[in-house]
Amino acid sequence: MKMENRIKIAFFDTKPYDKPSFERFGEKYGITFKYYETKLNEDTVELAQGYDGVCAFVNDTVNAAVIDSLADMGVKVLALRCAGFNNVDMKYAFGKIHVLRVPAYSPYAVAEHTMALLLTSIRRIHKAYIRTRDFNFSLSGLTGFDLHGKTVGVIGTGKIGRVFIDICRGFGMKVLAYDKFPAEGLDNGDTVRYVELDELFANSDIISLHCPLNEETHHIINAEALEKCKRGVVILNTSRGALVDAEALLAGIKSRKVGAACLDVYEEESDLFFEDNSGHILEDDTLARLISMPNVIVTSHQAFLTEDALENIAETTVKNIVDFFEKKQCPNELCYRKGTAEDCKDGKCF
Ligand code: NAI
């Protein structure tokens, strides 16, 4: 394909691990990417001038001002290379720019990372690893607990939540599930039961979040919710940071109400996560205090990061862009026609 006929996409927040798969699929399907390390926001949006579309990730800011600028420049499409779209003002985007996403790339990557965090935390692997490297073979303080027979509360039983439930069942755990739209056939009346949130809070030894971030789920784990939980509850968040009120979580850790927390996401992560800040003074006291706790494990939004997921993300993003420009219709377009964002069913989004 001649260079001038190729679709040109400005790719924001580029990391070294993004390029190989996007280059491969871009080459195959006739897309040229211009990679920018900077995030997309009001200050950087001008870099999209002259491109057919932009490709953005979870911590790019696509607010009203950015959408207006993109629309003014004639940029037709925003291709998200992620599933979540809470960083896009979808209501404002409707009618101005088409928003495509990757609804699923590897629910296994995220669900398996969630279980890895849980096991690391409760079996004290993070402590043991450091000890044995220093030839300290003492077991004091490393006592964990069995997962078998424990109850896990899973909030959000979509693709990732359901894989996580399968993994938990493999460990012999009981599952209490909550979802605004329960999945058919999941509740077996025994080892997996849908319950109301209050019952989930009251009876779960471990709570794992797998719902999207929206107005209803913002701070779904807050002081009031933690009050209703069992003493020693383990909180897992590999979904979106603002599902958890970090101040309330910290207070829960200090009061011993929360037994442990594993966070792959954090409400104020956008200026910190994915970057090496080791030489800097961390301004965020809440995050610094959480990280200092022996029973808190933080990973920096890494749950998605497997070779399989990166491959699927690049392939779907590229196919979305090609579908949009060549077929004028993409099944993974987000549509806000009904007053809430959902996958487009008929290609007539606006
Ligand atoms: P999904 O769309 O398959 O499932 C989400 C589930 O949440 C659905 O069953 C939906 O009905 C439910 N839900 C919606 N509103 C709710 C509410 N108010 N209360 C309770 N449940 C509600 O999404 P998927 O693929 O399972 O992803 C879940 C979340 O995981 C995403 O929204 C994203 O934020 C996060 N994620 C995190 C990654 C990471 O690297 N840490 C990578 C990929 C996704």
At 80, which CATH number?
Answer: 3.40.50.720
For the question of residue 240 being annotated catalytic, the response is yes
**Residue 301 falls in the annotated catalytic set:** yes
Q: Which of 282, 298, 314 is the last residue of a domain?
A: 298
Domain end point (choices 261, 280, 298): 298
pLDDT of 104 > 70? The answer is yes
207: in domain: yes
Nearest residue by C-alpha to atom 32 in ligand 1: 212
* Rounded CA separation 150/153 (Å): 10
Query: Is residue 344 very low, low, confident or very high in pLDDT (cuts 50, 70, 90)?
Result: confident
232, two tokens: 């020693």
Give mean pLDDT, residues 195-214.
98
pLDDT tens sequence across 232-276: 999 999 999 999 999 999 999 999 999 999 999 999 888 899 889
Q: Please say if 269 is a catalytic residue.
A: yes
Q: What predicted TM-score, i.e. pTM, was given to this entire model?
A: 0.92
Residues 89 and 185 occupy one common structural domain:
no
What pLDDT digit, counting tens, does each position of 280-313 carry?
A: 999 999 999 999 999 999 999 999 999 999 999 9
Answer yes or no: do 75 and 127 share one domain. no
The C-alpha atoms of residue 346 and residue 272 are separated, in whole angstroms, by 39
Give the pLDDT confidence of 164-174 residue by residue, as tens digits.
999 999 999 99
pLDDT tens by residue, 73-92: 999 999 999 999 999 999 99
- Do 77 and 93 belong together in one domain? yes
Residue 350 lies in a domain: no
- The three state secondary structure string of 58-71 is CCCCECHHHHHHHH
Q: In which domain, by residue range, is 61 found? A: 3-105+306-344
Of 320, 331, 318, 333, the C-alpha closest to 27 is: 318
Nearest CA to ligand 1 atom 42: 304
> Is the per-residue pLDDT at 1 higher than 60?
no
Residues with CB under 6 A from ligand 1: 83-84, 104, 107, 110, 155-161, 178-181, 210-212, 216-217, 238-240, 264-265, 301, 303-304
Q: Which of the four pLDDT bands, split at 50, 70 and 90, describes residue 345?
A: confident
Domain count of the fold of the chain: 2
Q: Which of 98, 101, 269, 333 is catalytic?
A: 269
Both ends of the chain: CA-CA distance in Å? 30
Question: Do 159 and 239 share a domain, yes or no?
Answer: yes
Q: Which residues contact 241 (CB under 8 A, 6 or more apart)?
A: 213, 263, 265, 266, 267, 268, 269
